[in-house]
Amino acid sequence: MLRARGVAVARAGVEVVRDVDLALAAGEVVVLIGPNGAGKSTLLAALAGLLPATRGTVERRGRVAAALQAPALAQRTARANVEAALAWWGVARRERRDRALAALHAMGARALADRPARALSGGEARRVHLARALALEADALLLDEPFAGLDAPTRAELLYDAASALRDARRATLVVVHDRAEAWALADRVLVMLDGRVAADGPPAAVFRTPPTPEVAAFVGFAGRLEEPGTVRLLRPQDVALDPDAPLRARVTRLVPVEDGVRVELTLAHGRLVTLAPAPGPAAGAEVGIRLLGGVSFPR
Amino acid sequence: MNFVWDGIQQAADLLVHGDHDIFVVVGTTLRVALWSTLFALALGLPLGLLLGLGRFRGRRAGLAVANAGMGLPPVVVGLVAALLLFRGAPLGGLDLLYTLNGVILAQTLLALPLVAALTAAAVQSLPAGLLEQARAFGASRAQVAALALREARVGVLAATIAAMGSAFAEVGAVVLVGGNINGETQTLASAVLVRVSAGEYGRAIALGTILLGIILVLAAVLTVAQQHERRALLGRPS
């Protein structure tokens, strides 16, 4: 549905996206993830045709719609906003009402239909924003951080609703997020964008469990790093377990309380690791035994 | 100060007893205000959208000119318009000097920068991303422009009020371009000038009172419409 070849995009004369190759197929939900400033939104704008590519080409088969990051609803009712988007899209007047209501229903926002945009909460506005994007029935749909700025329960609720609403065998969907939980919930395929380039492309399990480069690994949560002969081994917190009897010893440098216990930061002779332990965890400064359960290695 | 009260009473008498001259000058004033405001809106709204939202070289200079235009001295505009409309001048062939159409043209020139500059400011203050999102959903330029005007309607109504107020209150361009001809190009404001020059303070106050009354009624109607829109935008019951 949409293919980018060697695309570069500049903002204010600075190239912030470089050498991007990607393809979106019908029925596929692709998640684009990366840190702030990686160029995700810029790439999305270029794919949507809102920004010109300074190099490379973007081929679009069918019509592409993009829902930008800010909901930016007009000062009308929720339903009027969806109907306005349908009018811009070229949908006949007689079809707009039914399509608008169906899309609002799909996003769990049917009860908001007659509410003025100004009276919507952040989560409700995002539901309406997503509904008007879905109502268009575009061949390719690009969503820029559809869950940004929401509190955790609202975000989770919207995420699960969106995960089912975005499944459509006829449509290719690209969603920009910067949270791995969102990527897990939505993605058939994950693209990791770092410093303006696509640094990883694959199914979520592959990208998040066996990242292709140290940079991608560091971004997707491999916070531990051990220097080994000829290689560097990167580990997630779940790849490290505290075990008093283990021969590998480490010193606790910092403890941070988290929802399910305590995040334990450790230093060893050849690196530093992070693990999770039940509260209260070991004392800061204590020597503990550790077992390594996984991780990915890269040549040094 | 009795003559002030006398003037107000005279205004009431003139209206109640249907003074023909008064109705003619009121009609002329309304026609000038209506047509010049409509022409200024027809030209100024697209110009304001272009200056407010366009991306082209010289946009800022255009905005500066429009902003400066809001403070144009009417006498200077009238003088320039009159010089251009003199027989033998570049626009002399239009035969607009000392005509009502010439007055409407001069008033339109005065109101145009008001509409353009205020519209540009109104659309520039729209929430970030609103128009970009419309484009991302396939809106054409005309649809984006319509959305911008609709969302900035409180500011656009302010521009309309300003244009209309200018048309009612202005004297310099009317006198210079229209010649202030009684029964033809004389408006209420320019008629006041004539009466004061002739020492007819009572009649001048009468005319001024009628002018103020018309301005107050029309401004009130537009302000009510504007504030109704504002309440609607804020999502409060009207």
Please give, rounded to a whole number of angstroms, the shortest distance from the CA of A235 to a CA of chain B. 40
Residues 6+ apart with CB under 8 A from B193: B171, B175, B180
Look up the CATH number of domain A222-299: 2.40.50.140
Q: Which domains does chain B have, with CATH numbers?
A: 2-232 (1.10.3720.10)
Q: Is the dihedral of CA B142, B147, B152, B153 positive or negative?
A: positive
CB–CB contact B150 A74 (8 Å): yes
Nearest partner of A150 among A134, A136, A161, A138, judged by Cα: A161
Q: Could you tell me what percent of chain B has a pLDDT over 90?
A: 50
Q: Is A54 on the interface with B (CB under 8 A)?
A: no
Please give, rounded to a whole number of angstroms, the shortest distance from the CA of B133 to a CA of chain A. 6
CB–CB contact B235 A50 (8 Å): no
HSE-CB for B37 with a 13 A CA cutoff? 22
Residues of A in contact with B140 (CB under 8 A): 88
CATH topology of domain A2-209: Rossmann fold (3.40.50)
CA distance A227 to A236: 15
End-to-end CA distance of chain B: 43
User: B125, B137, B147, B233: which to substitute to probe chain A, counting the most A Cβ within 10 Å?
Assistant: B137
pLDDT of residue A174: 95
Q: Could you tell me what percent of chain B has a pLDDT over 70?
A: 95
Q: Give pLDDT tens digits for B27-59.
A: 999 999 999 999 999 999 999 999 999 988 999
Q: Give pLDDT tens digits for A97-117.
A: 999 999 999 888 899 999 999
Query: From the list A50, A116, A119, which residue is nearest B136 (CB)?
Result: A50
pLDDT of residue B78: 85
User: A75, A121, A144: which to substitute to probe chain B, counting the most B Cβ within 10 Å?
Assistant: A75
Q: Is B88 on the interface with A (CB under 8 A)?
A: no
Q: Which residue ranges in chain A fall short of pLDDT 50?
A: none
Q: Looking at this predicted complex, what is its ipTM?
A: 0.81
CB–CB contact B133 A50 (8 Å): no
The DSSP secondary structure of A59-88, one letter per residue, reads EESS-EEEE-SS----SSBHHHHHHHHHHH
What does the pLDDT average to over B220-227? Answer: 84
CA distance A64 to A49: 9
Q: Give pLDDT tens digits for B153-206.
A: 989 999 999 999 999 988 888 888 988 898 899 999 999 988 888 888 878 888
Query: From the list A48, A50, A72, which residue is nearest B127 (CB)?
Result: A72
Listed by start position, the domains of chain A span 2-209, 222-299
Q: Is B134 on the interface with A (CB under 8 A)?
A: yes
Q: Give pLDDT tens digits for B75-122.
A: 888 888 888 888 888 888 888 889 999 999 999 999 999 999 999 999
pLDDT of residue B233: 60
Residues of A in contact with B127 (CB under 8 A): 70, 72
pLDDT of B237 above 60: no
Domains A2-209 and A222-299 share a fold: no
B117: helix, strand or coil: helix
HEC assignment per residue over B19-50? CHHHHHHHHHHHHHHHHHHHHHHHHHHHHHHH
Q: If you measure CA to CA, which chain B residue comes closest to A44?
A: B136
Q: Is A121 on the interface with B (CB under 8 A)?
A: no
Q: How far is CA B220 from the centre of its chain?
A: 15
CB–CB contact A88 B151 (8 Å): no
CB–CB contact A75 B129 (8 Å): no
pLDDT of residue B88: 84
pLDDT of B211 above 80: yes
